Amino acid sequence: MNPQPNSFLAEANELFSYSREIRRDLHRNPEIGFQEVRTAGIVARELGGLGLEVSTGIGGTGVVALLEGEKPGPVVLLRFDMDALPIQEETGAEYASINPGVMHACGHDGHVAVGLTVARILHAHQDELSGTVKFVFQPAEEALGGAKRIIEAGVLRNPTPDYCLGLHLWNTKPLGWLGLTSGAVMAGADLFTIKINGKGGHAAMPEITRDPIVTAAMLVNALQSIVSRNVSPMQSAVLSVTRINGGETYNVIPSQVVLAGTVRTYNPTTRDLILKRMQKQVDLVCQAMECSGELEINHLTPAVVNDPWVTEHLQALAQNVLPSAQIDTDYHTTISEDMAYLMQDHRSCFFFIGSANPVKGLIYGHHHPRFDFDEAALPNAAALMAAAAYNFLQENLPDQGN
């Protein structure tokens, strides 16, 4: 007899001690991108213990496992990221990092625990599935190109997924909140570096120099006009200069200043407009100040765009799986996520699970040294992900739309 959607939450709650144990072990022993050797070993051990077909070393330290259903059918890819951040932990938790300067400050330890819990739940229902679950544990999500590396290693082949699902524990929202939005939900990200070359000299004789510091100041102001005066108010975009380096002492005008920052957009047309205007501003401001400027763009990730039909399907499913959840169908963030690369050519959905709890003091945002989340979010995340995969591998799946 097939389970009811809300039974997945009960199953996830039964496995809560397992989820918590995995999460806390990984939190104590965090590993940054492409160094997740211990983490990958635990993942492979747990998945192999279920009798799944496991492949390791994918894109460096990635792990992929296949759970074959009783009957043929579609392939559902479930992705969970594994890497930590180069941050010194300040939580004081009993399970705080023992690796100096490294901590799980974004919740990826929880994502791995959720993924392994989902594997246990779906393994118990293996004979009810029509198709294949492809578990992907990805390295190096934190701006290191992990998704591109595992794609290059063939993670989207043999078998090719029909659906791709991902999630993120979200500490800007409280426990019990669920973000399930159709369309663009996370911004695409570009990183930029601008090198301004002038003519250095004595600070007491500025007339014989070509000052890149003054040029940089003018350029920062010019760049801030791009979003406010070139991008339509109907579109969202962010352009932030986050670093300025130049000069070494108080009485010398340097010959070079370097600016760096990020651009966030949802729409490729808006992105192209901003980058073109940036180049124009660099050329004109530097020319006016008799300096030269060089703009370099590093395209980090495209926007995360959820398939409307898949998202609507999950919205309806979530009402049964997490009946007490506050489901937000219009949530967007300018934070980026390289799951976008896995989603580009597949029917996909990336959703958010609220994990903050002010009563417990769990209020710090992602990438903060005091970041920690309410572990009660783990069963919520595992239940919805397991139910979603199970639902897409049923013979009586409703019409999939166009």
Query: What residues are labeled active site?
Result: 83, 141
For the chain, what is the radius of gyration of the CA atoms? 24
Range 101-133 burial, b when 16+ CB lie within 10 A, else e: ebbbbbbbbbbbbbbbbbbbbbbebeebbbbbb
Known binding residue 168? Answer is yes
Read off the tokens for 305.
Answer: 């765009």
* CA dist., res. 233 & res. 134, Å (int): 41
Q: Please enumerate in sequence order all residues whose Cβ is within 8 A of that of 12, keeping only pairs 6 or more positions apart, or say none.
A: 19, 117, 121, 378, 379, 380, 382, 383, 386
Range 269-305 burial, b when 16+ CB lie within 10 A, else e: ebbebbbebbeebbeebbeebebbbebeeeebbbbbb
* CA dist., res. 29 & res. 43, Å (int): 14
- Among residues 176, 26, 34, 201, which one has the least CA distance to residue 114? 26
Known binding residue 142? Answer is yes
Read off the tokens for 94.
Answer: 């009993």
Known binding residue 106? Answer is yes
- Among residues 290, 213, 301, which one has the least CA distance to residue 263? 301
Residues annotated in the binding site, as ranges?
Answer: 106, 108, 142, 168, 367
Residues annotated in the binding site for Mn(2+), as ranges?
Answer: 106, 108, 142, 168, 367
